[in-house]
Amino acid sequence: MSQGQTASASQFQRQIHPGSGRRKAPLAPKGRQADSEALDQVRALLGERSRQSDLLIEHLHLIQDNYGCLSAAHLTALAEEMKMPLAAVYETASFYAHFDIIEEGEAPPAPITVRVCDSLTCEMMGAQRLIEELESDANAQVRILRAPCMGRCDTAPVAEVGHHHVNFASGNSVKEAISARRLHPDVPEYKDFENYRAEGGYALLREILEGERTREDIIATMKEADLRGLGGAGFRAGLKWQIMQSQVHPRLMAINGDEGEPGTFKDRYFLESDPHRFIEGMLIGAWVGECETSYIYIRDEYPAVIEILNRELRKVETSGLADHCRLEIRRGAGAYICGEESAMLESIEGKRGYPRHKPPFPTEVGLFGLPTLTHNVETVYWVRDILEKGAAWFTSQGRHERKGLRSFSVSGRVREPGVKMAPAGITIRELIEEYCGGMAEGHSFKGYLPGGASGGLLPASMDDIPLDFDTLQPYDCFIGSAAIVVLSDQDDIKEVVRNLMRFFEDESCGQCTPCRNGTEKAVQLLTAKQWDTELLEELSSVMMDSSICGLGQAAPNPLLCALKYFPEESRS
């Protein structure tokens, strides 16, 4: 081929493929490019913090807290700074309800965000009326959002302004909170490190660290006490500690403080009043399990808890009591599904909170693929008392042939809602009369949720069932995290079921079809004046049999219980 023919061929190639051939300018990278100003801002926020991928959610919080939203420019800059695919950053950020993603050209959200809880207890106590009042007064500076349970059912209805929660039971108003623009949490009075130690705190941990107790002796005591997981699953703690002994090293620990079940607020109560009893129990568990790091996962709706733990963990570390275990706090971002242990692990790793298939279980393959000891906050809260007072002390508690103590989160139509420390096996009637001051004025007992939104629904006529693990299953219910919501003659059972199913629809992670589509379809069917009970029962069966995790498996429980125990109301 001649030189002229070669030139012609090259020209022809450029006509067919304009991008081919020699270029005068360097090739531009594909995809969004980080803006230099946004990159400088992200780098300034991150400072000396690690850029490891499991800190993605923590870094997203930094940006959101500082700028009020997550702009496309900041997300692109964060992806470049952390050396992560932009798709992975968007995937995580878009999964969590508390992150506001703003694309190019979109206006940022209003400077003040007011979230009003519309879960069951708040709805019963007037959340809808509150939302309407706020929306009528809203302006360009304020946006009003509906939000799921905030773990403050005892002071329902509840609203959150920034990171400040408004307690209506104390006479506060949302309007006052908005005008004050208080964006930092109110930290309640609590037993700090100095006061806890003055009362004998950490003496047990010191004994253990100094070799006065063996791992075998501690495990034996825990198994004899038969303490079970108090986050809802009920797995025996002593057995879990024993299983960890045979796992390979290194090992990790993960504490679940993401109690998003409507009606549940016990963990917040413990952490806001006596946090070191929890910390000591956690550190003992980490020593027994030989866990080199413990991750404490706290829901974003608990800003005061995060503040307290940040303060107090530093004191514990300075004292040398945590030399055997590094401590890290990880902040959730508004996802009920992360209360499921494997979804929590995914979130700690900086990813979407998708539940994992089991087996393998976390004790074998947990965080970062390592054996991980997972516990609920309340479970380790009991460790010190059991080891100091003995297993016999714990098992001597209880009623109706049940053993142990339980903390019940009680809300709804009772005179004195709150966290009630009561014997395991107590009945709902005994709990209301002895611990809650009876029913609220003008209300007659009609029914109750024995285990939060997913634990089912029972009528007042079944008020003699012991409230404990394994006692409610014969009635198609379970105790879960012991969240008790009391209903009265002024509550519509159909509206209760609709509220609960809307919650599950909103909180479904979307990973599996039976739950994702099933909850949506159930909500649609429940809006009808006359329920198609045959279709609802068939849909419920599919969800319970084929959903990946407990959310989809348990979501139909209130519906099925309503059909079974409240037939006149639910089938009319």
Question: Among all chains, which residue has been given the structure tokens 């514990």?
Answer: 316
Nearest to 346 by CA among 297, 403, 384: 297
Residue 89 pLDDT: 97
Q: Which residues pair with 486 in a beta bridge?
A: 412, 448
pTM of the model: 0.92
Q: Which residues pair with 228 in a beta bridge?
A: 236
130 phi and psi angles, rounded to 5 deg: -65, -45
- Largest distance between two CA atoms of the chain: 103
Can you read off the two tokens belonging to residue 540? 């419920």
**375 with 229: CB under 8 angstroms?**
yes
Residue 130 pLDDT: 87
Residue 112 pLDDT: 87
> Which DSSP string do the residues of 382-446 spell out, in sequence order?
THHHHHHH-HHHHHT--STT--SEEEEEEEESBSS-EEEEEETT--HHHHHHHHS-SBPTT--EE
Can you read off the two tokens belonging to residue 310? 């940040």
Residue 170 pLDDT: 60
Residues in the chain with pLDDT values less than 70: 1-30, 168-183
Q: What are the distances in angstroms from CA 446 to CA 144, 261, 451, 476, 562?
A: 33, 22, 16, 18, 12
Distance CA 344, CA 459 (A): 34
Give the Cβ contact number of residue 23 at 10 Å. 8
Nearest to 256 by CA among 287, 226, 235: 235
Give the Cβ contact number of residue 527 at 10 Å. 11
Residue 268 pLDDT: 97
Give the Cβ contact number of residue 63 at 10 Å. 23
